[in-house]
Amino acid sequence: MEREKAFAEKLARRGVSRRDFMKYCTALTATMGLSAAYVPKVAEVIAAPAQRPPVIWLHFAECTGCSEALLRSQYPYVDDLVLELLSVEYHETIMAAAGQQAEDQLQQSIKKYDGKFICVVEGAIGTKFDGGYGKIGDRTFLEIAKEVCPKAAAVICIGSCSSFGGIQAAAPNPGGFKSVGDALGMKTLNLPGCPPNPVNFVGTVVNYLLLGKLPDLDDLGRPLFAYGKTIHDQCPRRSHFENDEFVEVFGSEEAAMGYCLYKKGCRGPETYNNCPVAKFNNGTSWPVEAGHPCIGCSQPNFWDKMTPFFEEL
């Protein structure tokens, strides 16, 4: 109760009402595919988590866009997520330590939380020249991943790079970049997307805290609550598709009227994600709503399989 009160005060200081917070919890609960009866429990987990799982966040071949996406998640604000929901032990973009101190922190954390921590991986792993395409503190990404990932209670791959290889794995894949699962030959929970929606990461973590397990996954390791349906099946422009109302030219009257973007290369029919429902930037919009065809960024190897992006499927 104390902590919930403190949490409510913290929200109030940021101008967030309890009603807004409960609205977020309702949306999150729905995104997770749980019944509305879980809303108070989800709120409780975020406001006063009973346990704070230690998290080691590794950066490999990536652009930090996934970290940025998470930093932009509205509620829980990232500092709450970092300081209250999770106990982040290592994250190069936001940690104070650098150099040797940072590496010492990593070593201490994997020793202290052996078998208990959640390993979040952002970025693909280079495999050519023994992984020489990327190094941190004189060790290759491959060496670091081989040491850290098998010691984790769970490995969560955030973004398409760690999930499926991402942009650096596109042909001709100069560095032999691979997903974490392929590079290490292990099963991972994948949250692909370029960037992924932070609400799906929060949903996965809350699922773990609330139910004590990771969510159910599809055959590509993606949580079904988020990646169970295609973009096309959830698209608000779907009726235009059924009525043969298509955008033929960007900037045209049809585009202004929000017609279907299928003929402009939309990959919605082949792409599994919850963008039309969850949306980005606190539920503001998502690519198709903003008038851009879906590029299929949560599908494996979309940089090769979905290109040229603006050609019809």
Partner 1 sequence: MGERITIDPITRIEGHMRVEVEVAGGKVVNAWSSAQMFRGIELILQGRDPRDAPLFVQRSCGV
Interface with partner 1 by CB under 8 A: which residues?
Answer: 59, 61-69, 92-100, 102-103, 126, 133-138, 166-168, 170-175, 177, 194-195, 295, 303, 307-311
Q: Are 175 and 128 in contact (CB under 8 A)?
A: yes
Q: How far is the CB of 309 from partner 1 (least distance, A)?
A: 5
Beta carbon nearer to partner 1, 62 or 84: 62
Beta carbon nearer to partner 1, 37 or 98: 98
Beta carbon nearer to partner 1, 10 or 135: 135
Q: How far is the CB of 308 from partner 1 (least distance, A)?
A: 4
Q: How far is the CB of 312 from partner 1 (least distance, A)?
A: 13
Beta carbon nearer to partner 1, 48 or 170: 170
Q: d(Cα 254, Cα 250) in Å, to the nearest integer? A: 8
Q: How far is the CB of 96 from partner 1 (least distance, A)?
A: 8
Q: Are 235 and 269 in contact (CB under 8 A)?
A: no
192: preceding bond cis by omega (within 30 degrees) = no
Q: How far is the CB of 222 from partner 1 (least distance, A)?
A: 20
Beta carbon nearer to partner 1, 150 or 174: 174
For residue 246, give the amino acid letter: F
Give every CB contact of residue 41 below 8 A, 6+ residues apart in sequence: 210
| DSSP code string of 77-133 | -HHHIIIII-EEEEETTT-S--HHHHHHHHHHHHHHTTTTSEEEEESBEE-GGGGTT
Tell the residue number behind the tokens 């030959």, with chain if given. Answer: 185
